[in-house]
Structure 1
Amino acid sequence: MQVVARRANLFAVIAVIAIVAFLVMTATTWYALTSNADNGKLLPSDLTASLLVGTLVPALTILVLFGRRMALRRAQESIGGTGLMHVRLVFLFSLISAIPTLLVVVFASWLFQSGVEFWFSDSSRGLLENANKLALGYYDQARRDVGYQTVAMAQDTRIMLNENAVASPTFQAFLADAVLRRNLSMAAIVQVDADGKQRTPIIVDPDRKGQEQRITKDELAQLDRGEPMATASNANRIVAVAPIERERGIYLYTARASDLLALSQGQRAENIVQAYEVLTNRARVLQLRFNVALFIASLVLVGLSIWFALRFADRQVKPLYELVDAARRVGAGNYALRLEGRTGADEIGLLNRAFNRMTAQIDKQTQDLLSANRELHERSVFIEAVLESVTSGIVSLDAAGEVLLMNSMAQKLLSQPGAEVEFVGRHLAEVAPQIAAVVEQGNAGGLVQYSRGGDLLTLAVKTSRDVTGHVITFEDITRQLLDQRTAAWSDVARRIAHEIKNPLTPIQLATERLSRRYRKQITDNPELFEDLTRTIIRQVGDLRKMVDEFSSFARLPKPVFRAEDPVALTRQALFLQEIARPDIEFEFASDSELGSIDCDRHQFGQAMTNVLKNAVEAIEAKAAQIGEGYRGLIAVAVDGLPGSARVRIRDNGIGLSQDRERIIEPYVTTREKGTGLGLAIVNKIIEEHGGEMTFLPAVGGGTEVVMRFATDPLLATRKPEAIDV
């Protein structure tokens, strides 16, 4: 259910439903209040409670969901986690506060509505109205009685006045007796003149509480309209005026002392009725205010509970977040971390202490592992240094024949020039099938031929088996074999030069003596004799030149290094060829910023001359093949490289032979005439100068010879010191 709720975003759906329900209930409540506002009646208690609960439930739901969102945000800001514990604590506190609050609100609303309905019901209103009517009826009856008594007394007084004068004792006795018999407090005859002045000819006031009597204009107007009497009342008495003779303006003015208790009860009843009417009109407002107060108080109470829940959750969950963060940092490698928070006797303190013990143990074990790894690393670095310092190639194979380890010398020997190949993880048969064949045959070693960039290398291979596979060591002995052949040829050349050079001089001298002595004595075909002697002398000269080359190759003197300009030396050698062969086109280019190098001036020029002569001979050979229309070209370029000077000589001659890797070996030549020692001498000179010589096919045909001379030959040819192990 949790997975389904998370995928469906259930809380978002509940939030939308709660917001819609709150808006609908708010609109419904507003309509219910405004639709019955004109009649002044209260809403029924069940309807009011339903509206309050229906509005409060979605509002509380929105508030609880807001608290959940705040808990999630605080949790994510703290450690970036899910905040489930925050949500659970906040939800628990929300339920604890929301459910009792909702029940209390429902009970308080129902209780308030019941009380309001009781006090403002129709029966309560009728009771007050009947009491008020009773009090007012009693008071009206007293006023009417005084009025009727006054009318009857006025009629009797009119009769008495027709028979007696006002000042007569009989009339006075009559008036006093009438006051007593009719239960009046006083009586007076008032005459109103035409100008409105009032006179009182006679007055009966037993209690002597009378005051100057005044008949008001309203009372006179009421009597003038033909009414039999006019009454008035105040807190002290009830007065009445009745006409005795309207034409003459004579009126009877009577008064009776008021019943103060009855009057006060009547007024009080009247005031209560009026106050009840006011309360009845304000009952709807009070009803609305009370329900709004309950609504707001409920939201405030639940909001405070959620706020307290957030604070409480922060306090309770913060140590766990700190522990999670510490665990992550320990997982990242900080094993020296220790928690400094709660370490008391509660569960959090117990967990923190256990965590600190764990990190201490991990830290100690890690230090031990680091120490062991450091030692292994030092051994590995030592082994790698030894392997890198070894001039032999070393390859480690697993049981399947795949490469596990290969030192830089092995990569250099097995990789093709200009290609970057990853050997580790590949099968040895893909890298070096010749060496793989030695391993598969189970031989302990052997010699293999390996082609690298057009050069055929001779590798001396040794194999040994271990628990994981094979360890193969091999060394490039091509140079050693070449040096051995060169040394052998040097010895042969020295022996040939020694054995041949000794008889050459006597042969030449004897031939010259025969020519001088017997040239004039030969009469039979003397030209033939001269040709034969010249041929012998010429062949002896050719043999002497060959012997000189043998001697030069066998005993090449040690170079004497001085600072020389390689551009000038190359230009001099090229100039001699330009003078000798005007039929060939020569080009020259050089680096203007190239400085001097340490070299033997004579040997440097000899090397340039030999290579240029080979280029000229290659052009002559191609000219012999093509014939007319062909023009030879020799391009010479001198530039600098880091720590060396480079001379490139390119021709468009006949090109290289198939076995060009043997072209620098002694007595290897492609010409009919020649000893094959020229390039061997050049290669030896370049090696003495700490450089190397390579042969490449030129673009468009021909050959390009690249010679590199070290700037400091002594440093370049110095043997590396032994590594102190």
Structure 2
Amino acid sequence: MPQSSTRTLIRNISPQSAALFGIGFFVSLSLLAASAFILLNEGGLTGSRSRYAVGILVGNAVLITGLAGVVTLRFVRRFRARRFGEPAPRLHLRFVALFSIAAATPAILSALFLGAVISRGVDYWFGNRVSTMVDQMETVALGFYNREAEFASDQLRAMAYDLSQPEAVDAFTSSRIQYVRYLSNQAAQRGFVAAYLVDGRGTLLARTQFRQNEEYVAPSPRLYELAGEGDVAVTTPDTSADAADVMRLLYRIDAYPDAYLFISHPMDIALFRQMGAARRELRDASQQESRIRQTFYFLYFEVGILLLIGSIWLALTAATRVATPVSRLVAAAERVRRGDLDARVQMGRDDDEISALARAFNRMTRQLRSQRRELIESHAESEKRRAFMEAILAGVRAGVIGLDGEDHITLINRSAISLLSPGTDDLIGVDIGEVTPALVEIVQQARRRPGSVAEGQVDLHTDDEQVRHLTVRASMDEEAGLVITFDDVTRLVTAQRNAAWREVARRIAHEIKNPLTPIQLSAERIRRKYRDDIQADVETFDRCVETIVRQVSDIGRMVDEFSSFARMPQPKVERVKMT
């Protein structure tokens, strides 16, 4: 796979993608809260609004599926990163696993707890005990309402009796103001909040009110029908007005032509109405128990899955924040291992231990690069010096050998190679005893006396059965090691020997030649002086004298030739052409 594809596969999630995931997560959470709010409010379980809540949950399920796909894709990319050489993938996966378990465990436990609570709660609310309790509460409330109605009915009959007295009837026809005052006193004594005298069509004949916001509501036809039968007509919680907080009673007064006494008795009708509505909703909910249970389970399932997705996302993010700097350190260390000392670890804004480690790593690489540069420069300088020394040693006719602590050769020049082992290219690393055992004794003397110079003369026998005379010097130094220098003094020894023989020849020639001249002169003198005196055998005398002179001359020539051996040959000067 190309490198670009690998980098695309293992790269971290971008801030834009993280922001989109966060927005999607909070939108899903908001939709769950909205659906829960709708379901838990009045009429949300059995009313028409439950369909809206189910629709929101279905749409949120699609969003949760998308979020789960994003988390799965990110996890798969992180898992496949180990196949493409990403640094520290196993560490990253361990962090992901640990953080996922740490984050998902509370979510799973909470989900199990909520599931048990919801299951038990649904069983409880739809059980016989709650239904029986609601029925009993409704019965008690209706009994209380009926007792209040009986008490108000008795008070209404008593008030109707007082208003039926002749003086009250006369005041109704003669003095309405006095009648209204009397009506107010009667209503106040009995605790009514309003009292009306109305005809059969609901028209007000007289009225008194003790509340400013009390509004007159004409009796319903049902109340007229009940009152027409001679009994007190009482409104029920279902038939009362929605905003009413009074019990209304209607009673016909026969002392007046077509007149009814209509009063308002204080009573919290909303409480009874809510109780009845709750009873109806409970009855409807009991009929729709299976659907409600499925709706709650659906809501609970989405909450659990969303919490699990969020925990895994947080685990991936936390693991990435921890493992990414470690991966950068591993990658940088790998580059340093390959020789790239310019590798640096990119540090974030966090001032933690990993950032401190990254700074220490960067300082280390800078120091290593500086030290390597210094080492390279020092090595280059050493190489220049070594090359210079080798150039000097190459031009030196004396042999030079450097030895380490184990007598292995570390330095040798060409002169030493030509003297010790002609035809060999390199003797570096070879033991000195293998090259020439004759030098071992001098080397041992130098090691026994560090700081002093061991000297000696060694005779080497060459392959052509010649003898080389070497003058050897060896010195031991703790830093430089052991250095051996030696010179080929074969010609010098030969020259010294030749000079000695020349001196011997010169002296012998001198000692032999000195008596020859007197002998020759004496022989010639004898011939001149005694030749005339010899009368007999003159020829023998001349022949003997001539032999002496001749042999002396021959010996003189031989001595001259022997003496010329001790002198340098005479140069012969000739003209030659240089071109």
TM range (shorter): 0.3 to 0.5
Higher helix share: 2
User: Which structure has more RCO (C-alpha within 8 Å, separation ≥ 6)?
Assistant: 2
Q: What TM-score, normalized by structure 1, do the two folds share?
A: 0.31
Q: What TM-score, normalized by structure 2, do the two folds share?
A: 0.37
Higher strand share: 1
